[in-house]
Chains A and B, each alone.
Chain A
Amino acid sequence: MNITRSLLAGAALALGLAGTAAAESHGGPVKAGFIYVGPVGDGGWTYEHDQARLKLEEHFGDAVETIYQESVPEGADAERAITQMALSGADIIFTTSFGFMDATVAVAEKFPDIKFEHATGYKMADNLAVYSARFYEGRAVQGLIAGHMTESNIVGYIASFPVPEVIRGINSAYLHAKEVNPDVQFKIIWAYTWFDPAKEADAAKALIEQGADVILQHTDSTAPQAAAQAAGNVITFGQASDMYEYAPTPRVSSIIDNWAPYYIERVQAVMDGTWESSNTWDGIGPGMVGIGEITDAVPADVKAEAEALRDAIAAGDYHPFTGPINKQDGSAWLAEGEIADDATLAAMDFFVEGITAEIPN
């Protein structure tokens, strides 16, 4: 570690001043830091961020050094974890959960020369960029498969928190399930966690008991896959990670988060001195959202239909939120052929018509 720089950082902080020496000035490898909300072995959300970190190391070799801290709580402790990472000499820090937003903003103010990247948030600054993936595109493909595959016409959905990202996912999956199966019903359980294998397993079991034979999850562990496997005749989809160890059934496909290209691009920008704050929201097309292999448990025609949908979304020929779509209360949202704008999608706090469950509060 560069001692001069560390001392400068310490001194600047002690004086209540901001910042460290400019990132480009020290000549050594670029140091990229990652703040994770879960353990790197969660098999889902954090696992994929960590896989991307490893690919970053692989890509740049000695030109990059990475550090990370796992299982950082999304409360008062986050700000300290990010600050300590900044003090340790990181040039760019990725904070990979929505709950780190205000903490990231606060630390970014104190360290104007360090670049910050916050996943799934909306607050930006000159040295704070935001990035997220259009997971709802993958949800459309899942919904289509779910609608075809369900025999009980009950699709169970393990939701995490009632945030726009989760609500978008439910809406997108529902719309595309309904399109191929007008009788489909969604049962939703709010787990109020992103990662808690015990709670997720309980939720999956409860949904299966209520007749669900397809389980979609917006939580990160493989516990629902295991519960479905134990129950038999229930299909699932990998979430965040491929979860291929449960293929060909119960896991019939998956949504894979692929952060590596973005991380490589952003670290490259730091190296080149061209990094700028930006708002990135990429989907299947640019490869940030991947659709895991659809297994043979899905009939060939359904598989072909799902892949066609995937390709149409990737090519930009089709948007999963294309009207006519009404809101849950029956009021009109999108007219025939109208496409939802990003601002509405980013703040989505309503279900679409046909979903009978309610958003908590």
Chain B
Amino acid sequence: MSLIRLEKRPAPSALLSAATPVLAVIATMIAGGVMFWALGANPFEAIRTIFWDPLFDPTFGAYSRPQLLVKAGPLILIATGLALGFRAGIWNIGAEGQYIMGAIVGAGVGLALYPTETRWLFPLMVAAGAIGGWAWAMIPAFLKTRFGTNEILVSLMLVYVAENILASVSSGLLRNPEGHGFPGSRNLARDFPAASNPELIAGTGMHWGVVAAFAAVIFAYVLMTRHRMGFAIRLAGEAPRAARFAGVNPARLVLFSLGTAGAFAGAAGFFEVSGPAGQISIDFNSGYGFTAIIVAFLGRLHPVGILLAGLLMALTYIGGELAQLMLTMPAAAIQLFQGMLLFFLLAMDVFANYRLRFGTPEVA
């Protein structure tokens, strides 16, 4: 008989569920501070550099504030789509692959029409990007609904397939013919105005991808609160048996949530390749698809929560870069710091679902 044990709560504590992200951030700051101290840095300075300087430092603030949106945009867009499936118990782990395929298809359509100047090219590329991501997500969706395969494995494995396709088109199909033999496509952002996704208002970081991310948050919010599909998603996640009695079609749910997540991730990939990244290159993908999973959970799978979580995650990235630069912190320490955030979030979640009990249980 142990003296401390966990007892399942009849229903998750509402207060703790809402408070866990905040508690996780605080715990990360403390544990991270200890780690920075062990690395020989001043922990308070390190935490300030990560959480405060990107916003308010006189040297960097003016530049890094808008960068928060640039970094958060794709995370929010992808995480919003993922959360729809996660709420229904459908686990799309392959957003990174869908992000890559969206970028390839979107950029590919544009590059095929280079150097056109028509105005409808950009919307066409956005649609192509979304379709690319959607189609890539349809593979695990189809295999799951048709053959009952596990979507976690299939979607994850397809990330590696997508990475190889990316390497292949970077050095082959989409390679810049004026690139001196080096891999990488033409730079959409610099050399192809009709296909570029520039800052909409100078100095704000706002580009079409950020606009799309905000639109996706609103879409998801309305869907989850006002639409039958949102009801079906919540019901399937919370009470799968009841959902079946209520006539929810599981196959439709899988196709819808994987498809939407894929389309969002694909669009995010396209906005990134035509804007901040500029070109298809072998190292184009930088892990947004995986980080978005953390963002989705940090945001409690709720659209507004995801919006805030995406901004927070972007802050730790940009602040982490500043800590590397100004305090010569190793890159691995920053990654560890971000990893702690997810760890503490999951750990805190335990307390929302379980109650800590002391002493031996009463005999029934």
> Which residue numbers of A lie inside 8 Å of B, CB to CB?
1, 3, 6-7, 9-11, 13-14, 16, 39-40, 67-71, 73-77, 79-81, 83-85, 87-89, 98-99, 102, 105-106, 122, 161-164, 167, 192, 346-349, 360-361
Contacts and interface: CB of A to CB of B under 8 A. Distances in A.
B328 A361 contact: no
11 contacts: A1-B59, A11-B62, A16-B202, A68-B328, A73-B286, A75-B286, A81-B321, A83-B63, A88-B59, A98-B182, A161-B171
B50 to A, nearest CB: 13
B58 A6 contact: yes
B283 A81 contact: no
B119 interface: no
A87 B285 CA distance: 26
Contacts of B173: 361
B67 interface: yes
A116 B325 CA distance: 17
A99 B321 contact: no
A10 B203 CA distance: 12
Interface in B167-207: 167-168, 171-173, 175, 180-183, 187, 190, 202-203
B325 A81 contact: yes
Task: Give the interface SS of chain B, mostly helix, strand, loop or mixed.
Answer: loop
Contacts of A69: 321, 324-325, 331
Given A162-B183, A361-B171, A87 B276 contact: no
Interface in B41-67: 58-64, 67
A106 B190 contact: yes
A87 B59 contact: yes
A67 B327 CA distance: 9
Contact of B283 (A10, A75, A84, A87): A75
Contacts of B328: 67-68
Contact of B59 (A10, A67, A99, A122): A10
B316 interface: no
B59 A9 contact: yes
A14 B62 contact: yes
A13 B58 CA distance: 12
B154 to A, nearest CB: 23
Contacts of B190: 102, 105-106
Contacts of B62: 10-11, 13-14
B62, B70, B272 pick with most chain A CB within 10 angstroms: B62
A60 B278 CA distance: 38
B192 to A, nearest CB: 13
A75 B59 contact: no
Contact of A102 (B70, B172, B278, B332): B278
Contacts of B67: 80
Given A75-B285, A77-B286, A163-B182, A84 B172 contact: no
Contacts of B64: 80, 84
Given A10-B63, A192-B282, A348-B181, 14 more contacts: A13-B62, A16-B202, A76-B278, A77-B321, A84-B60, A84-B64, A84-B325, A122-B182, A163-B181, A163-B182, A167-B181, A347-B180, A361-B171, A361-B172
Interface of B: 58-64, 67, 70, 167-168, 171-173, 175, 180-183, 187, 190, 202-203, 272, 276-279, 281-286, 318, 321-322, 324-326, 328, 330-332
A361 B167 CA distance: 10
A76 B272 contact: yes
A349 B181 contact: yes
Contacts, number: 119
B171 A360 contact: yes
Contacts of A106: 190
B58 A161 contact: no
B193 to A, nearest CB: 15
Nearest to B169: A361
B133 to A, nearest CB: 17
Centre residue among A75, A89, A349 by max chain B CB count within 10 A = A75
A131 to B, nearest CB: 16
Contact of B63 (A74, A84, A164): A84
A39 B331 contact: yes
A79 B322 CA distance: 13
A192 B321 CA distance: 25
B197 to A, nearest CB: 11
Contacts of A102: 187, 190, 278-279
A79 B277 CA distance: 9
Nearest to A343: B180
A95 to B, nearest CB: 14
A346 B325 contact: no
A165 to B, nearest CB: 9
A130 to B, nearest CB: 12
A87 B60 contact: yes
Contact of B181 (A73, A79, A192, A347): A347
Contacts of A349: 181
Contacts of A10: 58-63
A359 to B, nearest CB: 8
A76 B274 CA distance: 10
Nearest to A98: B182
A10 B321 CA distance: 18
B321 A80 contact: yes
A125 to B, nearest CB: 13
Contact of B203 (A3, A14, A40): A14
Contacts of B183: 161-163
Given A75-B286, A88-B59, A361-B173, A70 B202 contact: no
A57 to B, nearest CB: 13
Contacts of A347: 180-181
A134 B63 CA distance: 38
B112 to A, nearest CB: 17
Contacts of A76: 70, 272, 276-278, 286
A70 B172 contact: no
Contacts of B59: 1, 6-7, 9-10, 87-89
Contact of B330 (A1, A70, A83): A70
Contacts of B281: 74-75, 99
Nearest to A123: B180
Contacts of A192: 167, 282
Nearest to A39: B331
